[in-house]
Amino acid sequence: MSRELTYAQAIREAIALAMERDERVFLFGEDVGIYGGAFGVTDGLLDRFGPERVRDTPISEAVLAGVATGAAMTGMRPILEIQFMDFITLSMEQLVLQAAKLRFMLGGKVNIPFVLRTPAGAGTGAAAQHSESLENWFVHVPGIKVVMPSTPADAKGLLLGAIEDPNPVIFVEHKLLYRTKGPVPEGYTPIPLSQTEVKREGGDLTVVATSLMVARALEAAETLAQEGIQLEVVDPRTLKPLDEQPIIDSVKKTGRVLIVHEACKTGGYGGELAAIIAGSEAFDYLDAPIRRLAGLDMPVPYNRELERRMVPQVEDIVDAARKLVREGI
């Protein structure tokens, strides 16, 4: 049975369900307890589960990532919140050199089951140091899984799936999605990681989008449908490990593909998706070049209009999709 929840409420519900179900699960991070999280996502969990399992911490991202790694190795299932994805930079050594590699280096004798939740993305006027999308850094690192849910239902289900996973998972939550609403199933409903989903079916163009860009692609699809152009919107949901086949099947079906993400274009996830498509059987079905629409290669501006122009908007997706379908460019 489903009811309407916000993206933030869905995440909070997933955390609470996991903590009720498994006493090894605990939540920690800066201001997750008394304050309820930088965006209010964890509000009320301290009162519900107490200070042993919901822990406010000092400002030290490197230490927090080390604590998550160590606790996971000893049998706990930590959920760590880093307030802004930008500050994941301070925890890179623990995440990349320790958490990602210890299971491999110890011959599989330990698991590292923790989830690092982090808000990402532009659109809040938070400027260059609080607005980044750095997911592809971790896609590049073997041993770490990367999840980017786009809907409240996916946020709940994929977070439960991530908590169950025996590997470290970077769980990226876009700030502008927190207040969005959608149907969310009741109860304990985990979604296994690495399951790409077609969010909307169409025959003229495949749009592969991530996180907030899924919602914008769906809005663009509604606009273009009035012109007789039918977009198929595909959401990878888990960036690594990627479920490739639904993307390949969609491109074979439509013969055109537009890849949309918010992170800077150079070195972004769209390049990996383009390479996968180009190296697959879908290549022979293409009627137009693979196109990428992404953030500009610059720090996120503070000025609201400049910030808006830096990342793909609905009208940008409409324009790019229209050109691909009508002009093949």
Checking DSSP bridges between strand 25-29 and strand 77-81, what pairing results, if any? Answer: parallel
What pTM was computed for the model?
Answer: 0.97
Q: What is the mean pLDDT of residues 116-126?
A: 97
Helices and strands (H, E) in the chain, number of each type: 12, 14
Buried b (16+ CB within 10 A) or exposed e, 240-259: bebebebbbbbbbbbbbbbb
**Residue 219: band (very low, low, confident or very high) from pLDDT cuts 50, 70, 90:** very high
Is 194 a residue whose pLDDT tops 70? yes
| Per-residue pLDDT tens over the stretch 145-174 | 999 999 999 999 999 999 999 999 999 999
**Residue 218: band (very low, low, confident or very high) from pLDDT cuts 50, 70, 90:** very high
Residues forming the active site: 61, 130
| Per-residue pLDDT tens over the stretch 15-42 | 999 999 999 999 999 999 999 999 999 9
**Owner of token pair 């196109």:** 291
The mean of the pLDDT values for the chain is: 97
**Owner of token pair 């809040």:** 124
Per the DSSP assignment, residues forming a β-bridge with 79 are 27, 115
Decide: 175 and 39 in contact? Cβ < 8 Å. Answer: yes
Per the DSSP assignment, residues forming a β-bridge with 240 are 146
Decide: 234 and 187 in contact? Cβ < 8 Å. Answer: no
Q: What is the mean pLDDT of residues 209-235?
A: 98
pLDDT at 41: 97
Decide: 181 and 4 in contact? Cβ < 8 Å. Answer: yes
pLDDT at 107: 96
The residue type at 184: V
3-state helix, strand, coil in the chain (%, to 5): 40, 20, 40
Q: What is the mean pLDDT of residues 3-15?
A: 97
Could you give the count of Cα atoms lying within 13 Å of 259 in the half-sphere of its Cβ?
22
Is 2 a residue whose pLDDT tops 80? no
**Residue 141, φ and ψ in degrees, nearest 5:** -100, 115
pLDDT at 168: 98
Domains and CATH numbers, the chain: 2-185 (3.40.50.970), 197-326 (3.40.50.920)
CA-CA distance, 149 to 172, in Å (whole number)? 7
Is 1 a residue whose pLDDT tops 70? no
| Per-residue pLDDT tens over the stretch 265-316 | 999 999 999 999 999 999 999 999 999 999 999 999 999 999 999 999 999 9
Q: What is the mean pLDDT of residues 229-250?
A: 98
> Quick one: what percent of the chain has pLDDT higher than 70?
99
Other residues' Cβ atoms within 10 Å of the Cβ of residue 297: 11
Q: What is the mean pLDDT of residues 235-263?
A: 98
| Per-residue pLDDT tens over the stretch 44-98 | 999 999 999 999 999 999 999 999 999 999 999 999 999 999 999 999 999 999 9
